[in-house]
Amino acid sequence: MTQQEIQERNEQTALMLGAIYSIHAEAWGFGNARIEPNELKFDNKIIKGAVWAQRFEKELKFNSDWNWLIEAIQFLKKDFESKDRYWTTIERYPLYSNIEDVFVVVSDFAKLYNNKEL
């Protein structure tokens, strides 16, 4: 997987979790605490306005940090566990799986979720 593919997959996962990229802070905002007016990049559009975030992250690490990836898995578990055909795809990966394999599956779901295909 190229660095660009990893970045795109990380961004899809962040968007699924409701994160917004702040051009001013050059970071991804997660959560819902108000940060001052800013320019945002959301869905490839520039938006001027306030950023609401509890935390900012310069680098997305869903591909390399289990703590990040588990947050996305918990989101999916909450929304899709009852939809067997989706959840069993993630569930089949045991805890000792390679993080990259699980990241690919989660980011594929994120893309479908963001495109409203689920």
Per residue of the chain (118 residues), what is the pLDDT tens digit?
A: 899 999 999 999 999 988 888 777 788 878 754 444 454 554 554 444 455 556 778 899 999 999 999 899 888 877 766 555 555 566 666 666 789 988 998 999 899 889 988 7
Q: Give the pLDDT score at 78.
A: 78
* pTM for the model: 0.74
pLDDT of residue 21: 81
* Of the candidates 73, 79, 60, the residue with the CA atom closest to the CA atom of residue 108: 73
Residue 35's pLDDT is 45
DSSP string, 25-84: TTEEEESS-EEEEEEEEETTEEEEEEEE-SEEESS--TTT-HHHHHHHHHHHHHHHTTSH
Per-residue model confidence (pLDDT) at position 81: 62
- The Cα–Cα gap between 46 and 32 comes to 19
Contact assessment for residue 28 and residue 22, using Cβ atoms and an 8 Å cutoff: yes
pLDDT at position 76 is 83
59 and 50 Cβ atoms separated by less than 8 Å:
no
Q: Is 98 helix (H, G, I), strand (E, B) or coil?
A: coil
